[in-house]
Amino acid sequence: MTAIGFIGLGVMGGPMAANLVKAGFEVTGYNRSPAKVRRLVEAGGRGAESAAAAAEGADVVITMLPDSPDVEAVLLGDGGDGVLDRLAPGTIVVDMSTIRPDVARSLAEAGASRGVRVLDAPVSGGEQGAVDATLSIMVGGEASTFESARPVLDALGRTVVHVGPPGAGQTVKAANQLIVGGTLQLVAEALVFLDAHGVDRSRAVEVLAGGLAGSAVLDRKAPAMLERDFKPGFRVDLHHKDLGIVTAAAREAGVAIPLGALAATLMASLRAQGHGDLDHGALLLQVEQLSGRSPGE
């Protein structure tokens, strides 16, 4: 497999597509924003004027889109004019977006009915992980299809694991977002708590990171939160969407997630205050507001 069609060249998709070019794959990309297509071309890839054109002749088609309806619109289209209908039998589609597990399963079924092999392979690691090709990739689908797509996935991530049948990748990603959202909220609370007691927060984070409280969330997010740098690596809007997936899937399975439900509410509140375009580390702003504190107070 050498020819890859890449649909969705945003914050995550752009660097992922560029890394595939670096790995020696022939990559043709499409994005609604022409500027992002140009960046791929500058990195050595090819540009396409539509999703269908990007997928034409590809051995593997990758989608990296914001939400379930976006993926369905591209792959299924309206009235049977989606990308799936244009692919040769045996083509592999890897959806690396974060979408609902039930949608992932329905897309796998739609692909199978057309002779197309579909994997759901959402990622974790944020923008920096996409740039560095160190993403954690959780893959649902047929084991044989996973093995066929493995060379492509290995060019994008450091931890690539087949976690089960169609939809399993999205279920694991939902669990990932549950943990990240809850942990991020607690990091925000801890930083405000430390500041209220006049503790040097940078030193506190250093020692916390070396103990049981240490985590990738603390390592990657606390420095920017301390600097009050909320340039989006992962936007509040997207995490709000992901926590909605978690709460819906938990309700469907009859599973109680009391802390997760609270984290979802707090993320929704932050978004409702107009902070949807900020990095999810902006949960710090809300804890400050709830505590009646200003920065450095």
- Catalytic positions are 173
* Three-class DSSP category at 46: strand
Report residue 288 as tokens: 């400050």
Token look-up 């540009």 returns 47
* Residue whose C-alpha is closest to residue 40's, from 59, 1, 61, 14: 14
Contact 266, 283 (CB under 8 A): yes
Report residue 107 as tokens: 């897309």
What is the CA 264 to chain-centroid distance, rounded?
17
CA distance 228 to 223: 9
Residue length of the chain: 297
Within 8 A by CB and 6+ apart from 125, the residues are 134, 135, 136, 157
DSSP H helix total and E strand total for the chain: 13, 9
Contact 94, 162 (CB under 8 A): no
Phi/psi at 140 (5° precision): -110, 145
